[in-house]
Amino acid sequence: MERRKVGILGATGTVGQRFIQLLESHPWFEITWLAASERSAGKRYADACRWKLDTPMPARVAEMVLQPNTPEANTEDVPRIIFAALDSDVAKELEPAFAEAGCAVISNSSAFRMTHDVPLVIPEVNADHLPLLLHQTSCKNGKGGYIVTNPNCCAIGLVLALAPLQERFGIEAMFVSTMQAVSGAGYPGVPSLDILGNVVPFIKNEEEKLQEEVNKLLGSFNGKAIDMLPAKVSAHCNRVAVIDGHTECVSIKFTKAATREEILAAWSEFQPLAQHHLPSAPENPVIFNESIDRPQPRLDVNAGKGMSTTVGRLRECSLLDWKFVLLSHNTVRGAAGAAVLNAEVLAKMDLLPGQVKHTQTGAGRELVTA
């Protein structure tokens, strides 16, 4: 497969850097365009970016010149596949502009996640929601652009664990309490005197995002819109002094009774993308750790190269039915890695720009089957 040219909006930020790390050697995509705010446009990437990852800044990327973050200023050079790592307020303005210009905007922002015609996607869970993008005005204007989003960083890890349980037993209600890493706040993030030796029991809009997004992700596409899952979801979200890795304590009530063995089988057999050979898809999206004190961010955050959810401490719940603890990497699976996997699925389904016009009648087929 010829590598497709891609660009990154918000390239100097924490998630933008993670996009660069994941895409630099990607077999399907090649970074050819980087954009940032007015204060950084025109500078070499190495001069504008304070690189914070544990791998070196790629030498090729270091020499690239940052472009203005508007499609009009770069008409000839902007690739038609754009990974967006923007704050929500900025995304509300820029992402539709790039979509209207004919770009596939694969977004990490919360700006359009709950918009009725924007797919909110975890490929292992609801790749069959992606044809919803064909209902977007920008996709129907003749240029083929659109917006696709990945979920909140906590929702991704949670829903990966929930999806096989919903499929087999049905979910009526759940309670989730999160312990979220500081990297989820971006850079410079939470001031050290606020977080060291402390827990902050508030993250703006986080509980609302988690409660809304779960039911859209686990809902069903009726051909025109998403029918939301009618489960009750209650969330408490906390910031803790961990660098990477969101931990979540979950209690859940099923529609149908389930044994421990049946729950473990649902997780271990959950491999819906295995036959599609996508570069970023983990072999096992959900990994159960039998140790009594796992998962732990320090030990388990990089499971599946940061793309798997690790689950542990499965036990009966005296209030609901079952409870467990899960962990996921918030800037890999919870951000850039999720968007890259979404792009791989779009390519596999022939839904990238240049392909969409040929597949509108057949794009409703599911990538995966239950």
246 is catalytic: yes
What single-letter amino acid sits at 2? E
153 is catalytic: yes
Please identify which of the residues 49, 103, 153, 237 carries the catalytic annotation: 153
Helix, strand or coil, per DSSP, at residue 37: coil
Give the DSSP letter of residue 44: B
* Among 189, 181, 171, 297, residue whose Cα is nearest residue 237: 181
* Among 170, 314, 327, 313, residue whose Cα is nearest residue 253: 170
Distances (CA, A) of 83 to 178, 318, 353, 358: 27, 44, 14, 23
Indicate the angle between helix axes 337-348 and 14-23, nearest 10 degrees: 50
- Per-position DSSP letters for 256-304, written without gaps between them: S---HHHHHHHHHT--TTGGG--TT--S-SEEEE-STT---HHHHTTGG
- Name residue 179's beta-bridge partners: 238, 247
Please identify which of the residues 129, 237, 246, 329 carries the catalytic annotation: 246
Catalytic residues, by residue number, are 153, 246
